[in-house]
Amino acid sequence: MFEIRDKPKVVEKALLIGAYFDRREKDEAASLLEELHELVGTLGIPVEHAELVMVKDSNRKYLTGKGKAHELIAMAKEKGCDVIIFDNSLAPMQQRAWENEGGVTVIDREEVILDIFAMRARTAEAQLQVELARQQYALPRLARMWDHLDRQGGGGGSGGMGAARGEGESQLETDRRLARRRIDALRRQLVEVRQQRLTQRKERQRVPVPAAAIVGYTNAGKSTLLNTITGASVVAEDKLFATLDPTTRKVQLPDGQQLLLTDTVGFIRNLPHRLVESFKATLEEAALADFLVHVLDASQERVFEFYETTMAVLKELGADDKKMLVVLNKIDLLPADRRNQVAAHFNQPATMVSLKTGEGLPLLQERLSEMMLDRTRRVNLRLPQSEFGLISLIHQQGKILKQDYDGNDVLVDAIIPRRYEAQIERYLDPPVPARALEAWEAAP
């Protein structure tokens, strides 16, 4: 976070500004500003106030008019904000104008998104892709950074580019040259890493527990879903998963099945074109998952459009053929007739929930269990009591529906994950014919 330039490490309070230029854009601008609020929150920056601004006579120097700019800077000062965050794209010159005028850090939507992607990029490819986008974003802003340093009385250099600092202008030229060289190097590395991607996917697929990725737009309720599902279940302490990053949780569903749930980077509306590739790279999780949980804000007017966009991107990632559970969230905000209307739009039954009120939560858990059924199998087993290891494995990883005793044998009716099929095959009741068993064991 905060590496593009010398932004303050700890931001206390942010003022968000969303500018729109036509009265008809107002609702859209308001809802985009709400999304920015969410994005800034993801970075851990507290938002003091969000201001929607109608711009009538745009001034190229500031984007808004000059008077409005002064007004907003005064507002930031009055509210004690140490950073102003624009929901609009600011040209490098405009960013400089605001910073010089206001004496506070000024960030735009693109920079916020870059910081989020940087925070969430896990694979080598995603990290390179995000770094490339950051360098491209920073290049035309190097002058502004020098400006900033000069105001602070120089010092420091521009963030570890390794070149000795000469006099102002020439150092700026050096920085630009180094940045361009870095951009070229990143492009070359990306080509290499992409070639290795397929082998990497195979490695990661060896996770022993089924994994699902939660996808959908920012603000749909993805994180709430992860927290709610985790909160509603007993999570076993497990060393193997203790090291997973905080966006992945191991969940136990009411029927005993276990699942790894990962919260992916949310889709972002009006994603700057330059960030499209980085975004896709950070979504790699989706391509690795066994199935997808697609969360939608059903109260959003454009919910169908969001659905289609998400599906199109998943297709590009080669993840569109995965099984998918569509979750229509926030139904507490929907009138009853609109509920049916929204649900009817999907050709598979969508799960309607309100993660806020808890309505539909049991159904959601049930549907999640159903998604895993092809990873599990119902079996009747006759186990010698000496196989207590196997019995306790079934207890832990599967679900025992019925248990009886017959002499020294334990008879169980159970659901087991398919990956244990080989281990239990010999105890199937009735038994598998001997030749089928030999064929099974001979198989690679």
Ligand X SMILES: Nc1nc2c(ncn2[C@@H]2O[C@H](COP(=O)(O)OP(=O)(O)O)[C@@H](O)[C@H]2O)c(=O)[nH]1
CB 440 within 8 A of CB 424: no
Q: Interface with Mg ion by CB under 5 A: which range of 6-14, 89-97, 222-230, 333-341?
A: 222-230
Report, in Å, the least distance between residue 120 CB and ligand X.
Answer: 12
Rule CB under 6 A: is residue 94 a binding residue for ligand X? Answer: no
Q: Which of 94, 219, 257, 351 binds ligand X (CB under 6 A)?
A: 219
What DSSP character marks residue 19? E
Q: Which of 59, 224, 309, 423 binds ligand X (CB under 6 A)?
A: 224
Rule CB under 5 A: is residue 228 a binding residue for Mg ion? Answer: no
Q: Interface with ligand X by CB under 6 A: which range of 80-88, 106-114, 175-183, 212-220?
A: 212-220
Element (H, E) at 106: strand 105-108
Which lies closer to ligand X via its Cβ, residue 96 or residue 222?
222
Rule CB under 6 A: is residue 264 a binding residue for ligand X? Answer: no
Which lies closer to Mg ion via its Cβ, residue 146 or residue 267?
267
- The entry of ligand X, Mg ion, none near residue 356 (CB within 5 to 8 angstroms by kind) is ligand X
Give residue 359's Cα distance to chain centre: 24
Question: Both tokens of residue 59?
Answer: 């001034």
Q: Interface with Mg ion by CB under 5 A: which range of 200-208, 220-228, 301-309, 415-423?
A: 220-228
Question: Both tokens of residue 286?
Answer: 């989706």
Q: What amino acid is encoded at 351 in this protein?
A: T
- The entry of ligand X, Mg ion, none near residue 220 (CB within 5 to 8 angstroms by kind) is ligand X
- The entry of Mg ion, ligand X, none near residue 7 (CB within 5 to 8 angstroms by kind) is none
Report, in Å, the least distance between residue 230 CB and Mg ion.
Answer: 14
- The entry of ligand X, Mg ion, none near residue 333 (CB within 5 to 8 angstroms by kind) is ligand X
Could you tell me how many residues of this chain bind Mg ion (CB under 5 A)? 2
Could you tell me how many residues of this chain bind ligand X (CB under 6 A)? 17
CB 278 within 8 A of CB 126: yes
Which lies closer to ligand X via its Cβ, residue 105 or residue 354?
354
Q: Which of 332, 366, 413, 429 binds ligand X (CB under 6 A)?
A: 332
SS3 59: coil
Alpha helices in 289-351 (DSSP H): 303-316, 336-344
Q: Residue 344: is it exposed, middle or buried by C-beta count within 10 angstroms (0-12/13-18/19+)? A: exposed
- The entry of ligand X, Mg ion, none near residue 355 (CB within 5 to 8 angstroms by kind) is ligand X
Rule CB under 5 A: is residue 223 a binding residue for Mg ion? Answer: yes
Pairing label, strands 248-252, 258-263: antiparallel
Q: Which residues of 103-134 are buried (b: 16+ CB within 10 A; e: fewer)?
A: ebbbbbbbbbbbbbbbebbebbbbbbbbbbbb
Give residue 68's Cα distance to chain centre: 35
CB 372 within 8 A of CB 257: yes
Q: Which of 5, 141, 222, 294 binds ligand X (CB under 6 A)?
A: 222
Q: Which residues of 178-205 are buried (b: 16+ CB within 10 A; e: fewer)?
A: bbeebbeebeebbeebeeeeeeeeeeee
SS3 29: helix
What DSSP character marks residue 359? T
Task: Tell me how far CA of residue 347 lies from CA of 293, 344, 434, in angstroms.
Answer: 16, 7, 45
Q: Which of residues 340-359 bind ligand X (CB under 6 A)?
A: 354-356
The CB-side HSE value for 85 (13 A sphere, CA atoms) comes to 31
Which lies closer to Mg ion via its Cβ, residue 64 or residue 223?
223
How many residues can be counted in the chain? Answer: 444
Q: Interface with Mg ion by CB under 5 A: which range of 223-231, 317-325, 327-335, 367-375?
A: 223-231
Which lies closer to ligand X via its Cβ, residue 18 or residue 216?
216
Report, in Å, the least distance between residue 331 CB and ligand X.
Answer: 7
- The entry of Mg ion, ligand X, none near residue 436 (CB within 5 to 8 angstroms by kind) is none
Give the residues lining the site for ligand X (CB under 6 A). Answer: 38, 216, 218-224, 266, 329-330, 332-333, 354-356
Give the residues lining the site for Mg ion (CB under 5 A). Answer: 222-223
